[in-house]
Chains A and B, each alone.
Chain A
C-alpha cells in the first residue's frame, strides 16, 4: 500500500474521528460509573484502524470478536483465559439471557456482561458509521452536531463538566470537517492531490480554527440567558410547594447561600391571618453576606431563650412607646412548619399548642417544641404593639453612639473582602449628601425605584464564580426580586458604615374578607419575602423596604414639634407605592443611566449590556417575532418559485456585469428546476432546452441555450448582447410564475 498524501490525510481523518468518538465514551465514566473504559476506547481505535487499513472483514471481524471475548473474560471471570470450557459457555448463556430479557423489555435485569457486550457492538457500529462517513460520504456534519448535543445535554443534566470537552470537540470537529470538505472538492473537481494544494488548504484551515477557537476562548462570555433548566424541570416534576422549604425559592426557603436565578410563582396558601394591623411577618434574620448569598455569623443551633404560651417573649426589636395600641393577630396555618411567624414588637403568644418555644439567638427564629420533638402548630395567636417609630429620634442618629468601639455590631457591618470597590463607591455616592442614618437609609431605599431598577422574577442571573451577587444586580442586570433589592440595600448600608441585616418572612398577604370585625388576609408562598432592618442605637431594629413595588406598613411618626402623637400614623412614609400583590415593573427608561459608574459615556461593553438587557426584557416579543419571521421565511422559501422570478427580472434588469448572460442563464436553469422542469444531470443542455420548449410550446429556450453553449463549449470570451437576449430570458422566466 502506497502511503502517499491521500493515505496520510485519511489517517489524520480517522485519527480525528477517533478523538471525536472518544468524547462520547469519556463522560460515561462519570455518568454511569462504568470502569474499564480504556478497553472500550482501545476497541474503538482498533476498529477504526482496521477500517483505515482496509483489512479484510473476515480477518478484522475475527480479531474484534476475539478482542471482545478476551475483554469480557478478563472483566467478568477470575479463571484463566485458557479454561475456555468454563467461561465461554457462561458468557454465551448470559448473552442469550440478556437477549431474552431485552426482548421482554426487562432492561434493568440484564447482566453487566451483556451490557458490556452491547456497548462493544455499539462501538463497532459507530466506528463503521464513521468509516462510512469519512471514506464514502466524506461528510461528518451530522455526527459532529450530535456530539455537541450529546455533550451539552450531559453537561446540563449530569455531573459531567463539558467545558473542556466542548473546546476539544470544536477544534477536532472543525479540522475534521475542513479536511473532509477538501477531500470532497478534490473528488468533485477530479484534482490530483499534491503537497502544494495541501499547504494552500491546510494552513488557512488550521490557522482559522486555531484563531477562532482562541478568540472564542478568550472572549468574554455572556451569562446564560436562560436559567439553569434543571431545577425548573425538577420543580415542575416535583409539584409546587409540596415540602417545607420549597425546592427552588418557591415560598419561604431556608438555604440562602446562593441567591439568584429565576423565581417560579407558587400560590399555595401558607396561612390565613386575622388582624387589624397587617404587616410584614418575620421568621428569621441573617447577617453574614458571602458575596453569593446569606449565612449566619453564628451558626443557628436551635438553642436560645425559651418561653411558653402566655409568657413575655424575650425579644425586643425596638423601643416602642407604651402608648401605642396593642393588637392581636390570629394565625390559621395551612402549610405547617416547626417555626412560627411573628410580628414586629411581639408581646405575648396567646395561643399555641406546644409546650415551649425557643428563640434562636443566632437568627431570631422561633421554633415550637412538644417535649423534645419539634411541633408543627396549626394555629396560634400573637399580641403585639403596632410598630411606630419617631422620625425625630430616627433622624437624631448619626453614629454608633454607645456601641462605638464595643464591636457588638461588627457582624452587622460585615462585608466580604472581595466586594467590588464600585459597590462601596456607589454607597458613598448615594449617602454622602445626607447627614443622618435615617436619611441615608431612605436614600438607599429609594435609590432603586429612582434609577429604573425593575422588579422581575424571570431570567434573573446567578452570579458567576468571580462575580458578586449585589454587584451584578446593581451594575449589570438591574432587574430582580426581593432578594436582590434587600441584599443590595443591606450591603450598601454596611458599605456606608450603617449596621443592617437581612430579614425573611412574609408580606401581609391578600385581604380576603372580614372576621369578627377584623381583616382576614391570606398569605401564600408568593408572599414569601425578604427585607432590610437597620439598627438605630437609640431605637433598635427598624424595617426598610427597598424592593420596587412593595410597601411595608410601617408608620414613622412625624413628631416634628412637640408631643408624641399617634394620630398621624396614616400619613406615614412618603414615597411608597402600590400594594405588594401587584408589583408593577417600572418601565425601563434607560436602566444604565444613573448607576453612577458609567460616566465615560458610550463604550462597547455598555452598549452590549444595553442590547442584552433589551433583548432579555423583551424575550417573549423577540421569540414571537422570531417565530413569525421564521415562519414567514419558510413560507417565502417554499413558494420562492413564484416570487423569485420577479426579483430576478429586476435584478438582471439593473445589473451591469460582463458575465451577466451566463449568470442569468444559470439562474433560469435553477428557476426551471424549482418550477418542476428538472434537468437530469446526464442530459445535455440542448436536449433539455428542446424539452422545455416543447413544454411551453416556444423556441426561446433553444435560442438561449445555443448562445450559452457558445460560451461554455466554444470558449467565447464575448457574451451575446444582453439587450437582445433579455426579452427571451424574461419571457421564459415569466412563464414559470404561472
Chain B
C-alpha cells in the first residue's frame, strides 16, 4: 500500500534502477522530509542515474557537482562577475541553485568547499557578497562518498555528517538484475524516456503535509528509547544526538506517508533507524578493529528494545 502519487515516482525510478526499491523509497523519504542523503558506495553502481531519475520524475531541475580538491566555494555557490556593459556586478548562480543536486565524491574537496555546500543544505540559503540568496524549493542534495579510497580525501567532520538525514548504500545488483540492466540499456538509456509524474508544486505540498502525519507518544518514546540506547551502548563512543531523534521522527513521518498511512508505526522506526542513526554514532576504536559496523550496532539495539504496544496511560 503506497501513496498513489508517490508510488508512480517509485515506479519511474524502478524503471531505470532495477531491483533498487529500497534505495528509491529512502530517496523519496528524504525528499519528502526535506532532508539530504549521503550515499556511500563504489562508483558505477548507478548513483547518478538514481538521482537523475528522481529529478526527472518530479520535474525538478538537476545539477551535478563533481568535487575535486581544487574546487572553490564559488564554484559551488556562484560568483558575482563585473558586467562592463551594465557597469555592475552580476550574480552568476552556481550549481547549488538547483532543485536536486548530486554532489559527487564530496570528500575529495577541501573542507572550505564542503562547508559551503553543507551550509547551503542547512540554511536553505547562501550568502554571496553580503547578499543572502535563498535556494530553490524543493532543495535536495544527494552526496556520494567513496568508501575505499581514503588517500587525498577530506573526510566529512562528524558535525557535518549530522546534516544528512540518512546514509545509505547502493550495493551491487544481483546477476539477474544486472542482465536486465544490460537489456534495457542496449538501445537507448531508459532515463531519456522518463516523464515527470508529479509536479514540483505537488511535491512541495506533500512536503508540507508530512508534518501532519500522526506520531503518537508511544512512538516518540520508542524513538527516544532507541536514541538513548545508542548513547549507552558499550561499543559506542558517541551516541545519536537529539537531532538524530528529530531526524528519525521526520523520516518516519515521510515513510508513513509514502506508505499511504497518516500515522507512524513502530515498524517504520525499526526500518529507518539504521539509516538515520548509523552515520550519527561514532564507534569506539576497539569496536572498529573488531570489524563492527555502526549499522550492526543499531540493528542490535533495535533487536533489544521493547516495542510499545499499548497506549501510554497518562
Q: Is A649 an interface residue (CB 8 A)?
A: no
Q: Is B218 an interface residue (CB 8 A)?
A: yes
List the one stretch of B104-112, B157-165, B195-203, B303-311 in contact with chain A: B303-311
Q: Is A718 an interface residue (CB 8 A)?
A: no
- B266 contacts A713, CB within 8 Å? yes
Residues on B with beta carbons closer than 8 Å to the beta carbon of A713: 214, 216, 218-219, 263-266
C-alpha spacing A669/B309, complex, angstroms: 11
Residues on A with beta carbons closer than 8 Å to the beta carbon of B119: none
Q: Which residue of B214, B221, B266 contacts A190 across the interface (Cβ within 8 Å)? A: B221
The digit string for B274-314, where 1 denotes a CB below 8 A from any CB of A, is 00000000000000000000000000001111111111000
Q: Is B144 an interface residue (CB 8 A)?
A: no
Q: Which residue of A190, A684, A711 contacts B265 across the interface (Cβ within 8 Å)? A: A684
B279 nearest CB across to chain A (Å)? 23
- A686 contacts B307, CB within 8 Å? no
Q: Is A635 an interface residue (CB 8 A)?
A: no
Q: Is A710 an interface residue (CB 8 A)?
A: yes
Residues on B with beta carbons closer than 8 Å to the beta carbon of A686: 265, 267
Secondary structure of the A contact surface, majority rule = helix
C-alpha spacing A685/B268, complex, angstroms: 12
Residues on A with beta carbons closer than 8 Å to the beta carbon of B221: 190
Q: Which residue of A666, A682, A687, A711 contacts B304 across the interface (Cβ within 8 Å)? A: A682
Q: Is A237 an interface residue (CB 8 A)?
A: no
C-alpha spacing A131/B310, complex, angstroms: 33
B24 nearest CB across to chain A (Å)? 22
A712 and chain B: residue at smallest CB distance: B311
Q: Is A2 an interface residue (CB 8 A)?
A: no
B215 and chain A: residue at smallest CB distance: A713
- A682 contacts B267, CB within 8 Å? no
Residues on A with beta carbons closer than 8 Å to the beta carbon of B270: 684
C-alpha spacing A715/B221, complex, angstroms: 15
Q: Is B262 an interface residue (CB 8 A)?
A: yes
B306 and chain A: residue at smallest CB distance: A681
C-alpha spacing A669/B307, complex, angstroms: 14
C-alpha spacing A666/B309, complex, angstroms: 9
Task: Kindly state the interface size class of chain B when it binds its partner.
Answer: 20 to 34
B1 and chain A: residue at smallest CB distance: A706
B102 nearest CB across to chain A (Å)? 34
A190-B221, A682-B302, A686-B267 known; A714-B310 Cβ under 8 A: no
A190-B221, A712-B310, A714-B214 known; A682-B265 Cβ under 8 A: no
- A682 contacts B303, CB within 8 Å? yes
- A709 contacts B303, CB within 8 Å? no
Residues on B with beta carbons closer than 8 Å to the beta carbon of A714: 214, 216, 262-263
Residues on B with beta carbons closer than 8 Å to the beta carbon of A710: 263
A684-B266, A684-B270, A686-B267 known; A712-B218 Cβ under 8 A: yes
A712-B311, A713-B218, A714-B214 known; A687-B267 Cβ under 8 A: yes
Residues on B with beta carbons closer than 8 Å to the beta carbon of A669: 309
Residues on B with beta carbons closer than 8 Å to the beta carbon of A108: none
Q: Which residue of B266, B302, B303 contacts A685 across the interface (Cβ within 8 Å)? A: B266
Q: Is A683 an interface residue (CB 8 A)?
A: yes
Secondary structure of the B contact surface, majority rule = loop
Interface residues of A in 397-427 (CB under 8 A from B): none
- A712 contacts B303, CB within 8 Å? no
- B309 contacts A712, CB within 8 Å? yes
- A682 contacts B262, CB within 8 Å? no
Task: Kindly state the interface size class of chain A when it binds its partner.
Answer: 10 to 19
The digit string for A88-130, where 1 denotes a CB below 8 A from any CB of B, is 0000000000000000000000000000000000000000000
A714 and chain B: residue at smallest CB distance: B263
B224 and chain A: residue at smallest CB distance: A190
- B267 contacts A684, CB within 8 Å? yes
B174 nearest CB across to chain A (Å)? 24
Residues on B with beta carbons closer than 8 Å to the beta carbon of A685: 266, 307, 309
C-alpha spacing A666/B310, complex, angstroms: 9
B39 nearest CB across to chain A (Å)? 28
The digit string for A676-719, where 1 denotes a CB below 8 A from any CB of B, is 00000111111100000000000000000000011111110000
Residues on B with beta carbons closer than 8 Å to the beta carbon of A666: 310
Residues on B with beta carbons closer than 8 Å to the beta carbon of A681: 306-307
B265 nearest CB across to chain A (Å)? 6
The digit string for A207-228, where 1 denotes a CB below 8 A from any CB of B, is 0000000000000000000000
C-alpha spacing A576/B309, complex, angstroms: 77
C-alpha spacing A250/B306, complex, angstroms: 66
C-alpha spacing A713/B311, complex, angstroms: 8
Interface residues of B in 47-77 (CB under 8 A from A): none
- B307 contacts A684, CB within 8 Å? yes
A686 and chain B: residue at smallest CB distance: B267
Residues on A with beta carbons closer than 8 Å to the beta carbon of B264: 713
Interface residues of A in 647-692 (CB under 8 A from B): 666, 669, 681-687
Residues on A with beta carbons closer than 8 Å to the beta carbon of B267: 684, 686-687
C-alpha spacing A714/B264, complex, angstroms: 7
C-alpha spacing A714/B309, complex, angstroms: 12
Residues on B with beta carbons closer than 8 Å to the beta carbon of A711: 311
C-alpha spacing A686/B309, complex, angstroms: 10
A615 nearest CB across to chain B (Å)? 42
B72 nearest CB across to chain A (Å)? 49
B305 and chain A: residue at smallest CB distance: A682
Residues on B with beta carbons closer than 8 Å to the beta carbon of A684: 265-267, 270, 307
C-alpha spacing A666/B306, complex, angstroms: 16
Residues on B with beta carbons closer than 8 Å to the beta carbon of A682: 302-307
A318 nearest CB across to chain B (Å)? 86
B306 nearest CB across to chain A (Å)? 5
B2 nearest CB across to chain A (Å)? 15
Residues on A with beta carbons closer than 8 Å to the beta carbon of B262: 714
B313 and chain A: residue at smallest CB distance: A189
- B302 contacts A709, CB within 8 Å? no
Residues on A with beta carbons closer than 8 Å to the beta carbon of B302: 682
A31 nearest CB across to chain B (Å)? 48
C-alpha spacing A669/B310, complex, angstroms: 12
Interface residues of B in 250-273 (CB under 8 A from A): 262-267, 270
C-alpha spacing A10/B219, complex, angstroms: 32
Interface residues of A in 566-608 (CB under 8 A from B): none
C-alpha spacing A714/B262, complex, angstroms: 8
C-alpha spacing A438/B227, complex, angstroms: 97
C-alpha spacing A681/B263, complex, angstroms: 21
Interface residues of B in 67-100 (CB under 8 A from A): none
Residues on B with beta carbons closer than 8 Å to the beta carbon of A712: 216, 218, 308-311
Residue of A669, A684, A685 most packed against chain B (CB within 10 A):
A684
Could you name 7 residue pairs across A and B whose Cβ atoms are closer than 8 Å?
A681-B307, A682-B305, A684-B267, A712-B310, A713-B216, A713-B264, A715-B263
Residues of A within 8 A of B (CB): 190, 666, 669, 681-687, 709-715
Q: What are the nearest 3 A-B pairs in CB distance?
A: A714-B263, A684-B266, A681-B306
7 A-B pairs besides A666-B310, A682-B303, A715-B263 with CB distance below 8 A are A682-B302, A683-B307, A712-B218, A713-B214, A713-B219, A713-B265, A715-B216
